[in-house]
Structure formats: C-alpha cells, structure tokens
A = this chain, B = another copy of it.
Amino acid sequence: MKKKQSLLCCAVIAAAVLAAAPVRAQFAKAEDAVKYRQAVYTVMANHMGRLAAMAKGERPFDAAAAQASARVIETMSHLPWEAFPAGSTSKGLKAEPWADAADYKARADRLQGETAKLPAAAASLETLRPQLGATGAACKNCHDKYRNI
C-alpha cells in the first residue's frame, strides 16, 4: 500500500512537471505569459477589426489586405494557448483555462479550424463574410466561458 501511494505520488508529480514544462520553458514568470497572450490577442483583435470593417462595408474591400490580415489571424490563433500557466490570472478572466484542459483545448481547436479557412475565404467579400462570422463565433465560444467581455 505504501509502495502504491508512493508510485501514485510520483506519477502525480511527474504529470505536474510535464504539464508545467512547456510553460516554464517559454515564460520565466506568469506575468510574462500574461503579457505575451495579451499581446497576441491585441494583434488578433486588430486584424479581426480590419476584416469586420470590410465585411460591414465601412472600408472598401481589398483582397490582398484582407488575406494578409487573415494570415495574421491564423498565425495568432496558434499562439496564446501555451500562455495560460496555472495561476496566471489576469483582468478579464472569468474562468481558469488551466482548470479544464480538455474543454479549453476543444475551444482552441475550433478557433484554429475556422482561422485555417480564413485566408482563402478572404479572397472575396462574398466568401469572407460567412467565414469571418464563423471565426467570430469561435472567438465568442471561448470568451463566453473564459473572458468577461
């Protein structure tokens, strides 16, 4: 029994170390992770705003600019997920992404699935509009649970 407990304890520690390793490797402190993920979202939101302005007709449609923004959004959509180490709370978080890794990953995967289609869709206004909507819905799907805006 003692041995079993000891093994279990080792497994728990090993799992915790493995889970923490990628975060520790990229970010020296939790504040660094917060700063990085907020920067990623700032860039992503700016380019979502550019596409939205074209989709709504507030700005003339420009396929090259739209596709460039779409590629930035796709790139950004892969970055923030490693930047939520346990305990890295920040203003606006209403749930802890690190508390349910499977749920959190499912929401990240959905976003990445939609952003992957965005550069091709951004070639015309007719295809941009629905794909921007689907991407925005994937953003919202995560914000609904994790973010106070």
A23 to chain B, nearest CB (A): 13
Bound state CA distance, A71 and B72, in angstroms? 11
Whether, in the assembled complex, A46 has its beta carbon less than 8 Å from a beta carbon of chain B, the answer is yes
Q: Assess the A39–B50 pair: CB atoms within 8 A.
A: no
Contacts of A65-85 to chain B: CB distance below 8 A: 68, 71-72, 75, 78-79
Q: Assess the A72–B75 pair: CB atoms within 8 A.
A: yes
Q: Assess the A43–B50 pair: CB atoms within 8 A.
A: no
Contacts of A38-79 to chain B: CB distance below 8 A: 38-40, 42-43, 46, 50, 59, 68, 71-72, 75, 78-79
In the complex with contacts A35-B42, A43-B36, A43-B39, A79-B72 CB distance below 8 A? yes
Bound state CA distance, A71 and B59, in angstroms? 29
Q: Assess the A43–B46 pair: CB atoms within 8 A.
A: no
Chain B residues whose CB sits within 8 angstroms of the CB of A43 once the complex forms: 36, 39-40, 43, 79
Chain B residues whose CB sits within 8 angstroms of the CB of A79 once the complex forms: 43, 72
Bound state CA distance, A35 and B50, in angstroms? 16
22 contacts between A and B (CB under 8 A): A25-B59, A26-B46, A26-B50, A32-B46, A35-B42, A36-B42, A36-B43, A36-B46, A38-B39, A39-B39, A39-B40, A39-B42, A39-B43, A39-B46, A40-B43, A43-B43, A43-B79, A68-B78, A71-B75, A72-B75, A72-B79, A75-B75
